[in-house]
């Protein structure tokens, strides 16, 4: 079945870059997503990448996709304390309609 794996915790200092990694198993995934969840809130869509792309950049966010290794990463440049949150990687498996399969989330802690 489909599976999405993420490391659980990442701690960085303010101003550094953060890199959150994700691996997935379904090679036919069409889109891959990054969501952010702050305490007590729902999920905020940060960015997504189509499976035929290698990279997507949006301001401080850079998404890299290695389709051969089924590896997705999210790089946050100049990390701020407001970036502290849980980050979820998600995929849409090709055979599962449009419902997302989520990883367990990576808790990013930014210290000043």
Partner 1 sequence: EADIYQTPRYLVIGTGKKITLECSQTMGHDKMYWYQQDPGMELHLIHYSYGVNSTEKGDLSSESTVSRIRTEHFPLTLESARPSHTSQYLCASSELIEQFFGPGTRLTVL
Residues interacting with partner 1, by CB under 8 A? Answer: 31, 33, 35, 37, 40-45, 48, 86, 88, 97-100, 102, 104-105
CB of 21 to partner 1, least distance (A): 17
CA distance 65 to 56: 9
Residue 67 or 102: which CB sits closer to partner 1? 102
Q: How far is the CB of 91 from partner 1 (least distance, A)?
A: 12
What are the φ/ψ torsions at residue 76 (nearest 5 degrees)?
-110, 115
Which residues contact residue 99 at a Cβ distance below 8 angstroms, ignoring those fewer than 6 apart?
92
Q: In three state form, how does the secondary structure of 20-38 look? A: EEEEECCCCCCEEEEEEEC
CB closer to partner 1, 14 vs 37: 37
Minimum Å gap between C-beta 48 and partner 1 is: 7
């Amino acid at each position: 079945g489909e599976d999405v794996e993420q490391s659980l915790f990442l701690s960085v200092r303010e101003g550094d870059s953060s890199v959150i990694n994700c691996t997935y198993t379904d090679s036919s995934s069409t889109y891959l997503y990054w969501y952010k969840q702050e305490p007590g809130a729902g999920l905020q869509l940060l960015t997504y990448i189509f499976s035929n792309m290698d990279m997507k950049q949006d301001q401080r966010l850079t998404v890299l996709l290695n389709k051969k290794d089924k590896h997705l990463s999210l790089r946050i440049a100049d990390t701020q304390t407001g970036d502290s949150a849980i980050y979820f990687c998600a995929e849409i498996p090709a055979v599962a309609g449009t419902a997302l399969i989520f990883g367990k989330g990576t808790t990013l802690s930014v210290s000043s």
